[in-house]
Structure 1
């Protein structure tokens, strides 16, 4: 069972993703609310995968991706974005994110992205 870290400043979005992932037989090992927490939790938990919101306070998702990839070039990160954030998605992929999912989350799409990024 793969371990996943869910990072989003909105509690509702973390809950939604956690429910989808748990139903898909993934183990959510932690939740973060901003980029700084994402980096700290990544170091502590060493998850197989991170779902990362782009727009968050303190440190955004793109900055967090850069920091995590710098420490672990094999990190697997999927960005979560709202519609209309194409420019930010491109920036996140260039920073090292492996894929993206769009809010509101489609359960099938989330699981497909996770499987693809984890090579399952």
Structure 2
């Protein structure tokens, strides 16, 4: 079981992820709707894992990953992307993300990525 921060600009996506993670026995300790909020929440909550959307207003997910990884090189981050964002996924992995899951979310795949990132 892990404490997780869910970052996505769409409230219904956050709800879906929270549902999947809760069913997998994890606890969602916080939520953020953009990269700036994600960094603030990360500093405040120190979660064991972050699910990070790529495309968001104010600050994109990749920039947020870079900043979080700069402050905490051990941060565990999984990127969430829509289909067709392969280039961004590569950039995310280079920025320090451990894995990525594609939207629409499949529960098993999300939980598998969480397990892998935390092991």
For the superposition of Structure 1 and Structure 2, which TM-score range results when normalised by the shorter chain?
A: over 0.9
Question: Once the 2 structures are TM-superposed, how far is the Cα of residue 2 of structure 1 from its aligned partner?
Answer: 1.0
Segments of 5+ residues of structure 1 without an aligned counterpart are none
Matched, 1:64 2:69: no
Matched, 1:24 2:24: yes
Q: Give the distance between the partners of 1:12 and 1:68, measured in 2 at CA.
A: 24
| Residue equivalent to 2:38 | 38
Q: Give the distance between the partners of 1:115 and 1:49, measured in 2 at CA.
A: 10
Q: Give the distance between the partners of 1:81 and 1:63, measured in 2 at CA.
A: 15
| Residue equivalent to 1:107 | 107
Segments of 5+ residues of structure 2 without an aligned counterpart are none
Question: Once the 2 structures are TM-superposed, how far is the Cα of residue 69 of structure 1 from its aligned partner?
Answer: 0.2
RMSD: 0.4
TM-score by length of 2: 0.99
TM-score by length of 1: 0.98
| Residue equivalent to 1:6 | 6
| Residue equivalent to 1:93 | 93
Q: Give the distance between the partners of 1:93 and 1:105, measured in 2 at CA.
A: 19
Count of residues in Structure 1 that have an aligned counterpart in Structure 2: 119
Question: Once the 2 structures are TM-superposed, how far is the Cα of residue 109 of structure 1 from its aligned partner?
Answer: 0.3
